[in-house]
Amino acid sequence: MGTLELHQQQKTERLTDAFRIFNELSENLAHSYQGLEEQVAKLNRELQAARSERVTTLIEKEKLASRLQQILAALPAAVVVLNAHGLIIDCNTHSVDFLGEPLLGQLWSSVAARSLQPVFESPHERQLRDGRKVNITHSSLGNDAEQIILLSDVSELRSLQDTLAQHKQLSAMGEMVAGLAHQVRTPLATAILYASQMSKPSIVEEKRQQFSGKILERLHYLERQVNDMLIFAKQGRMAMQSFSLQRLLAHLADTTDSFAGEFSIENRISTDQLLGNEDALRGALLNLINNAAEAGAGKITLTVLRSGSGGVDIAVTDDGPGIAQAQQSKLFEPFYTTKSNGTGLGLAVVDSVARAHGGSVKCRSTPGQGTSFTLNLPCISQYTLGLSAGIANMEQNYETV
State the Rg of the chain over Cα.
Answer: 42
> Phi and psi at residue 81, in whole multiples of 5°?
-110, 130
CA dist., res. 320 & res. 342, Å (int)? 18
Cβ atoms of residues 264 and 252 within 8 Å: no
Q: Does residue 113 contact residue 100 with C-beta atoms inside 8 Å?
A: no
Dihedral through CA 274, CA 280, CA 283, CA 284, nearest 10? -80
The pLDDT value recorded for residue 395 is 36
Bridge partners (DSSP) listed for residue 375: 314, 361
Over the stretch 2-51, which tens digit does the pLDDT of each residue have?
A: 677 777 877 788 888 888 888 888 888 888 888 888 888 888 888 888 88
CA distance 306 to 267: 10
Residues in the chain: 401
Range list of H helices, 87-154: 93-99, 108-115
Q: What is the mean pLDDT of each run of 10 residues along the chain (401 residues)?
A: 74 81 82 84 85 81 68 71 86 84 88 83 77 83 77 80 73 64 68 77 80 80 70 65 91 81 92 87 89 89 88 93 83 66 71 86 90 87 38 35 27
Distance CA 97, CA 119 (A): 20
> CA 79, CA 95: separation in Å to the nearest integer?
6
Of all residues in the chain, the percent with pLDDT exceeding 90 is: 12
Torsion, CA 84, CA 87, CA 93, CA 99, rounded to 10: 120
pLDDT tens per residue, range 234-252: 655 677 888 999 999 998 9
Nearest Cα to 229, choosing from 345, 338, 361?
345
How far lies 249's CA from each of 3, 147, 170, 287, 310, in Å? 141, 45, 33, 14, 20
Instruction: State which amino acid sits at residue 105.
Output: G
pLDDT for 179 = 58
- What pLDDT, on the 0 to 100 scale, is given for residue 392? 35
Q: What is the largest CA-CA distance in the chain?
A: 183
How far apart, in whole angstroms, are the C-alpha atoms of residue 5 and residue 157? 118
φ, ψ of residue 345 in degrees (nearest 5) = -105, -20
**Which of helix, strand or coil describes residue 111?**
helix
